[in-house]
Structure formats: C-alpha cells, structure tokens
Chain A
Amino acid sequence: MKRRRIIGDIATYAVLSAVGISMLVPFGWMIVASLRDKSEFFTQARSLFPSGIHWDNYVQAWTTVPFGAFFKNSVIVAVCVTLGQLLTSSLAAYAFARMRFRGREALFIAYLSTMMVPTQVTMIPLFIMMVKLRWVDSYYALIVPFLASAYGCFLLRQFFLTIPQELEDAARIDGCGHWSTYWRIILPLSKPALSAFGVIAFLGSWNSFIWPLIVINRPTMKTIPIGLQSLQGFYGDANWAVLMAGAVIAALPMLVLFFLAQKQFIEGITLTGLKA
C-alpha cells in the first residue's frame, strides 16, 4: 500500500513536471531569443543558446516604439478602469444586497443579462459612438466605456450577502447612514472580494486587445498589447531578436505583479469560475 502510494507520488511529480516544463519552455525561449543576435535566427544555428548576450535588442525595442508611453498609457487605463469598476460595482452591489426598493430583482436580472452580450457585438456601435464623441485616440475611449461592470456588481453582491446583517444593524444604531455603512463597514470587510475582483478587472483591462486596436491610432496613445503588435508590424519576420525583447518588456510588468500577488490573482480568477 505504502509502495503504491510512493509510485503514485513519483508519477504525479513526473507528469506535473513535464507539463510544467512545457509551460516554461516558451517563456525560456522568449528570453533566450531576446538575447540573441538577430542574424542567429536565419543561420539555423545549432546551439540553443545565444552566442553572446545582446542587451541592445532591448534598447532597440524600447526606442523603436515608445514603450515608455505604452507603459504609462496601460497603467493609467488599467488603474482608472479598475478603480472605476470597483467603485461603481460596489455601490450597485451594496444597493442590491442591502437596500430595498421597488423593481430590485428585475433590475438585477437586467444587469445580469448585459453580461451575456459578447463584446464583439457592441464593438461596432461603440466605435461609431467614439467617432461621434471625437474620443478616438484618447484615454476616454479606453476608459469610459468600461467604468461599469455588471459582472463586478454580481460578484460583489454575492459577497456582500455573506456579511452578517448584525454588523450593519449595530452601525445603524450608532447612527450610520447608508453611505457610511457602505464605506466604513461593508468595504473594509470585503477586502478579499474587492482585491480579487480588482485583480480580474486590472488583468482584463491590461491585456485587452481588440478594442484599443480599433480606437487607437496614434503611437503615443497605444497600450502595451497594441504597442507590441505595432512592433511586430514594423519588423515582421525581419528582426526576431527585437520582437522577443519587446515581448519580454510587454510581459514583464504583469508577471512581476503576479509573483507579488499570486494569492489574489489565483483567488480572483477562481472566483470568476465558481460563482458565475
């Protein structure tokens, strides 16, 4: 019995490691390729490792396209969208979870039903809206349409419902209104849910591609994903080394953030699966 258990463990490790390696290889390959000399790609070099360390690929990637501006844009957009969604969603979630008003259930279902609409359906009218508002090539186009999230409302409402009513009643007795109950009681108690949802919102905004691709033309207004795409458009297959350096630069901030906040990331994303 014990022996079978050990064999099982070894097999488990073996399979997990094999899959783990297949997960890591592309990342490793990306880093190795980003340090090669660009000519090494075409010569069918025998060696898997670069002939020398060519940091200048990073310099070239950074200067060919304005990665600094991309980074700034991505941060501004993702932070605004995340804060906006947290605020609007938690407010609505509070109303749905804790307040009584006519039509509450119907309105809640209406909120939920907007979640079923794929973004591709709304993208054309939204684009036309941006054109009419003259928001193309501006932060507004990247931020404002995404400040409300039905999904966030739903998620946070579910969480707020689990907070004991008694805490709130006590606050009421102390003379707190809805606003201060929301701000002083509910929000502090909901930190895990808020941070989990915040992570999803941030990740979604940071990596969004098709929408910025449509509404952003100016190089200095691009976010990291479409900025990286423009680097690929610029070099095609002519300079893989710089492209890979660009990919590393683009992937790095999120990877660092992920390592710093693994728990929130995994919880946040698990949440998307369980409750929806």
Chain B
Amino acid sequence: MRRSVTIARLVAAATAFSCAVLLVGCGKPAKTQAHKVTLTLACWEGPEGLSSLMKLLDRYKKMHPNVHIEIQQVPGSQYYQRLKIQFAAGVAPDIMQMAYDQLPSFAERNTLEPLDRLIKRDRFPINEMFPQLLPALKYKGKFYGLPRGWTTFVLYYNKDMFREAGVPFPREGWTWDDFLYACKKVTKDVNGDGRIDQFGCDAPTQADGIAFWIWQNGGRMFTPDMKKCLLDSPEAIEAVQFLADCQYKYNVFPTPEQAQDLGGGSEMFRNGRQAMFIQGRWACLVFRGATYPDGRKIDWDVAPPPMKKQKATVLFANCYVLRRNGPNLEEAWKLMKWLTGYEGQKHQARTGRDMPSFVRVANSPDFLDPANPPEHDRVFLDVAKYARPLEVDANTGTVNELITNEIMQIFTAHKDVRRAMRSLASTINRIQQRGAK
C-alpha cells in the first residue's frame, strides 16, 4: 500500500527531475519478505537503558525469529515532538515508550490504540498490578498504556552527613520542620573558603517537584474536573513559599549559581555535596557506587517523604503504547505484552531502575535486591499507599512547560512567590477553559 503510493510519487516527480530521482530510487531499501515482520520501536533510553532493552528484545527475537525490531532511539528532550511529527506524517512507530503524563495528549488526538479490548481478549493480568498505578494508564476511562515500570518519589539521604551532624535519620511521619532542621544542620562551608559548599536539599524544577510539596500541604494542582488550576490556593502558595524560604531565607538549598558550580542536584548528591534529594527510583542507578572526591563510598539510603498536613507523594509511570490501527498492530501488541508482562517486569526489576508494576514481582528478590543499595528498597513500596499520579490532561505538555518556566522565575530570578503563582494559575486557567484540544 505505502509502497505503491511511493511509486506513484516517484513517477510524478520523475517527469520533472528524472535524473536525480532515479538515483534516489536505487537507495531505497528492499522490502522485507511477506512472512517477516519489522516492528519499529521508539524509545528515549540512554546508553545503559538501551543496552538493557536490547538484551530483553534479543530474548524475544529468539522466540519469534520472524520478528525484526528496529529501534528508534530519540533523546528525551526531543522525544515527543518527534513522535508528533511521525504521527502527522503517518510514519509513527508501531510501539513506543511514553510517560504517563503524555498519554492524554496523544490519546486525545486519536493516535494511540485503546487497549481494553486486547487486555480483555488475552487476559492480560492488569489486576495483579498495583491498583494506584492503574489511573495513570488511563485516559477518559480507557487504557492506553502498560508500564515498562513505575516509581514513587522518595527522599534519598546521605547517612554520613546525618550522622556527622547528629541528626536522626528521616523516617515515616517526619515533618517539614524536621526536614528544615536537618537541612540547617548539614548545610555548611566544608573547605572554609567562605562559600557554602554543602547543602540540605535542592529546589524543584518541574511540576511533579512542586506537586509533591503542595499535596503534603493538603493542596491540589487542579480541581478534580481539571477546569480550574489551584496553584494560587493558599496551600500551594504556602508550600512553594516554604521551598523559596529554604533557598533565600535559610540558605539551605543552593542558589542556581551555587548549584551550577557544583553540577546540579543529582550531581551534588552523587558527589556528597547535598544531604537529601527527592527523586524516583531511577536515581538509585546514578547513586550506586557514588563516592566523595577523596574516593570514600557514600553511605546513602531512601526514606519516606516529609509531611505537613498529610502524607503524600508523586508516582510516575513509564509506559509502552501502541500506534492506533498500525499496520503491525497484532505483532506490536504481542511484543508489548512481553515487555510489560511478567518477563519484562522481572528483567526491568533486576536493572534496579524501575519499580515493577506487578505486586508479586515487586515483593520478590528481583526488586528487593539486598546486594545493592539502597538498604530499604521497601520504602518505595511503602509510600505507594499514599502515592498518586500528577493531575494530567491533554494540555499537560503546555501546562508543565509553563510551570517549569515559572518555577525557574521563582528560584533563579527571585520572583515573588505569591505573584508568580497567581499569574501562573491565571495563565493555566485560560488554557484549561479553552478546553482540551
């Protein structure tokens, strides 16, 4: 079908540009044989993630020798824009990775295959997954994605620094005050050059980073119908003000200049310059084997997030999704079942990077690996009780960008929190009231 269209174009173009176009024709790859299937898979994986994915796919290919899988790796920063271009051009991949917060935007535009029929038909064990994860996979009541893995956001902390400062380790139920106290205790000028070079924690840069605190303060980002943005509510302003105070008033978060000198949050934690760091499971991989500049190993662990009015944390899911009515839909679904099913989840759990979506795998040694830090892997599962996905809809991409920019204004340009949050909420409200497009 696609081939014949191309040939028609070729003929048309050849009348005007026969010479060059003929040369082009020679460069076209030959079509694969009928019984062979070439599946295209788009992913954002970096070097380690890609080699892990390749291993998993190799096992799949051994079982399905007729399937050839072409991986399209795209850097995260350009990933979704490439997908949109590909969908618009009708050359979207058969199966692709997608963060759950992007599902609505793509599903709304009729680009993704709804999975309910397939899940039901093949009895995919979706009910054996963590139930709080399921809403993140749905849009308007239908399943669109199945998780590669997921994570809750927890508090990473440097045990050495806590010990040295004489502060008890963070544990379930500790509060914002405890957090601030710990921050103040560990922040100091280590090398004595008059500049602070060890900090408590760092300011958030993205929407999930502030939702984490706003929820703990009993607030919300949006009303349940998503019509109204609540970032200008007292709870939200208070939460962000707390973070701004940590940076500007108590100086326990690095300023952007300081963070930049020291390499940014995750880098600072990894080099023993920052006592705490809020992040999902994937940071474990970065922090394993982390050392101080003098080569000593950093002793770190994870703990539940601090609380104010309630316990709350963010969950995040990385999914696989299928191209709607794609030419290889059946084969793509088969591969997706493998990647997101028990086999795939076990593999993924062993990499240490994601939390497995199945309760059974999560409670197995595959995930609760005693050989590797953190010591308390279980914290990720424990906080799942009160974890929830970000409040998202089809506008989330635009909204998140606005939030990111405004947060930056607060934490780099010292913009007044109340003013920033109000203008942010009113901008977002204009978008939300225009409705999902």
Does the CB pair A84–B46 fall under 8 Å?
no
CB-defined contacts of A236 to chain B, threshold 8 Å: 46, 75
CB-defined contacts of A72 to chain B, threshold 8 Å: 27
| Bound form: Cα–Cα A140–B21 in Å | 8
CB-defined contacts of A238 to chain B, threshold 8 Å: 46-47
| Bound form: Cα–Cα A275–B86 in Å | 41
Does the CB pair B47–A147 fall under 8 Å?
no
CB-defined contacts of B40 to chain A, threshold 8 Å: 218
Does the CB pair A136–B86 fall under 8 Å?
yes
Question: Is A276 an interface residue, CB under 8 A from the partner?
Answer: no
Which residue in chain A gives the minimum CB-CB distance to B10? A140
Of B1-9, B312-320, B324-332, B361-369, the stretch lying at the interface with chain A is B1-9
| Bound form: Cα–Cα A157–B71 in Å | 48
Of B88-96, B155-163, B377-385, B394-402, the stretch lying at the interface with chain A is B88-96
Given contacts A134-B2, A134-B6, A219-B73, contact A84 B89 (CB under 8 A): no
CB-defined contacts of B86 to chain A, threshold 8 Å: 136-137, 217
Query: Counting chain A CB atoms within 10 Å of each CB, which of B24, B71, B89, B90 scores highest?
Result: B89
Does the CB pair A134–B24 fall under 8 Å?
no
State how many angstroms separate the Cβ of A68 from the closest Cβ of chain B: 13
| Bound form: Cα–Cα A136–B88 in Å | 10
For chain B, the bracket of interface size reads 20 to 34
Which residue in chain A gives the minimum CB-CB distance to B21? A144
Question: Is B77 an interface residue, CB under 8 A from the partner?
Answer: yes
Contact with A along B4-32 (1 / 0, CB 8 A): 01100100010001011101100111000
Number of interface residues of A (CB under 8 A): 35
| Bound form: Cα–Cα A133–B21 in Å | 15
State how many angstroms separate the Cβ of A139 from the closest Cβ of chain B: 4
Contact with A along B274-289 (1 / 0, CB 8 A): 0000000000000000
Query: Counting chain A CB atoms within 10 Å of each CB, which of B2, B21, B77 scores highest?
Result: B21
| Bound form: Cα–Cα A239–B88 in Å | 34
Given contacts A230-B75, A234-B75, A235-B47, contact A83 B90 (CB under 8 A): no
Using a CB–CB distance below 8 Å, which chain B residues touch chain A? Answer: 2, 5-6, 9, 13, 17, 19-21, 23-24, 27-29, 40, 46-47, 70-75, 77-78, 82, 85-86, 88-91
Given contacts A131-B88, A131-B90, 11 further A-B contacts (CB under 8 A): A64-B47, A76-B23, A134-B5, A134-B9, A134-B90, A136-B89, A139-B27, A143-B24, A147-B20, A235-B46, A238-B46
A-B contact pairs, 7 of them (CB 8 A): A131-B88, A138-B6, A138-B28, A143-B21, A218-B40, A233-B75, A238-B47
